[in-house]
Structure formats: structure tokens, C-alpha cells
Structure 1
């Protein structure tokens, strides 16, 4: 049985159900939009809907690298702290959603196989407690929380674009 066919139960199933639900909320906020709308800054914030999709995918992927290989793996590729929150020339909403889906499928497959108790020291950064370690379980909880937070941001942005309320 391949990983993609593996039946996930118990805690893993609960974690994945929660993460998938938050991803669906975020995905719902861009339903029916054209690229110009997805790239638009519709509030005083620098955020746009396409940028949020890109950021959430990038963040999830990097945390899964951490879950597998620790801080070194997470930091193996530089991150563009400015352009990860916006759509840049040549990016389309469809392309960003395809990447979002690719990352989601990879995460889902990993959750089926990783030991949730495995822990790695966090990267050195001012926003992390010095010397702390996170388990794979805690990483997944963080990814769920991050995705939920950005789904809420996205709901506000979408309402500012066309009045659509995606979460209420």
C-alpha cells in the first residue's frame, strides 16, 4: 500500500481533518476571483489574497521540511520576506493554488508516516524561545493555527474586494 493509499486514523486523522478544513476556508476566499482581484491590496495592509495563498503554502512547506530534517532543512532555501506576501509579475491565482495543492498533498502524505513525537531544536530567531524544540505534533498544530489565522485575514480582504463574506 502506497503512502497516498494509506489509511490515516486517530490523532493523525484529526490533525489532518483540522488542517484540511482551514485550507478549505482559505481556498474559499479566492473562489471566483480573477488574477487582478487576487493581486489587489484591498485594505491598508500590504496583503493580497494571492500573496496569502503563496505565503501559507511556503510556510507549510518549510515547516514540513523542519518536521523531517530540523532547522537546517527548514532554512535550506532562502525566503523572500517581501514577495511571499504578494503576487509578482507572471504569477497567476491558478498557479498559486496548484502550488498550494501540491504542498498540501505532500504534507498529508508526510503526516501518515512521521513520528509525531520526533522533535527538533527551533531555528535561532528572535520570535522563538532560545533552545526550545518542537515536536512534529506541535509543528502541525502551528501550521493549522497559521492557516486559520490567514484564512481570517483572507476573509477580510475578500470582503473589501467585492463584499463577499466567505466565513460568515
Structure 2
């Protein structure tokens, strides 16, 4: 796709089918590509395979999908509502950290199909926001967390870059896990 070819994405203000072009189309294309490779690693797997830890890491494919879904939802909430929509990571309780750890696992009452559906819902919400947001320069102070510089601000554009980068990074993790399950690869 080139800059001159519109991507169709729903714009809540104008109804479905609004053509998105330029930078927004590029963001949607980048996000779609990263999401595709992450989802593709789970093709034809059972729930048990999606729960499997195949390396020394705690990561499993179902957990990676859950984590990326949570990340995408949280950052979209941040774009819409600022840091009040996110957790203050400097004051998390032990229970908060345990809940966060479960985000990286496919729990016994969860299914791969269910977490993939939740991921698709999160992706749709992000895509709708990209299409409708009046200004990608909208910026908020980052939430308090040991991994953020105090006082730093991120624009909506920077948040989209983070979502795309994190999704692509986890797609790479997922490819290694998948190859360890049954030799299947996303590419090659």
C-alpha cells in the first residue's frame, strides 16, 4: 500500500467506511501487520498448546495474546483519558502484581479462541480511535512507573508507536514459542 491508497476504517463520527489516508493509514497498516504475525503464530493450535511454556520463560502463546490485548486497551484508554486511566505502577500491591502475572498465562478457564476474540475487539477499538482522533499530537504525562522518566509526556502518535513496537516484539517471542511447539514458523 502506498500513501495514495486509502485504507478503509470505521470513523465513529462519520460512520463506517470512511477512507483513512496518509499517516493514519500508515499507522493502521503497521498495526495490522504486527497483529497479523502475532495471531498467525496461534494458527491451528489447541488450548493446551496455547498454554504450553516451551522455553525457560513464563511466556505462552495464549498469555502473549492476553498481554498484548491488555497493553493495547490500556494505551488506548491513556490516549482518550490521560494518566488517570492507567495504573500507578509505583503503588501496586502484591495482588496487583499477581493479576499482572496472570496476564501472561492462558488460565484453565480461558480459551485461545476467547483471547483472540478479545484481541480483535481491542484492535477494532484502536483502529477506530486512530481514524477518529482529532490530533495525533495530543499528549499526556506518562503514568508513574519505574520504567518511565519522571515528567515525560507521550503523544498519541508515540503511544501508537509503542503499541506497534510491543506487538511486533511479542510476535517475535511468539514465533520462537510456536517453533518450539511443533516446528511451525511465521516466516520461512
- TM-score (normalizing by structure 1): 0.95
2:93 aligned residue: none
Map 1:86-125 → 2, pairs under 5 A: 86-114=105-133, 115-125=135-145
- Tell me which residue corresponds to 1:74: 86
Larger Rg: 2
Which residue is equivalent to 1:133?
Answer: 153
Residue 5 of structure 1 and its aligned partner are, at CA, apart by 2.2
For structure 1, the 5+ residue unaligned runs are none
Q: Does 1:152 align with 2:172?
A: yes
Unaligned runs of 5+ in 2: 1-13, 89-95
Query: Take 1:119 and 1:27, find their aligned partners in 2: how far apart are those partners?
Result: 30
Cα deviation per residue 1:48-91 (whole Å; 9 max; x = unaligned)?
Answer: 00000000011000000001111111239x67211000011210
Q: Measure, in 2, the Cα distance between the counterparts of 1:59 and 1:156.
A: 21
Find the partner of 1:9 among 17, 21, 29. Answer: 21
The aligned residue for residue 6 of structure 2 is none
Q: How many residue pairs align between the two structures?
A: 166
Cα shift readout 1:73-113 (whole Å, capped 9, x = no counterpart): 1239x672110000112100000000000000010000011
Counterpart-to-counterpart distance in 2, 1:21 and 1:82: 27
Equivalent residue, structure 1, for 2:4: none
SS of the equivalent of 1:120 reads strand
**TM-score, structure 2 as length reference:** 0.85
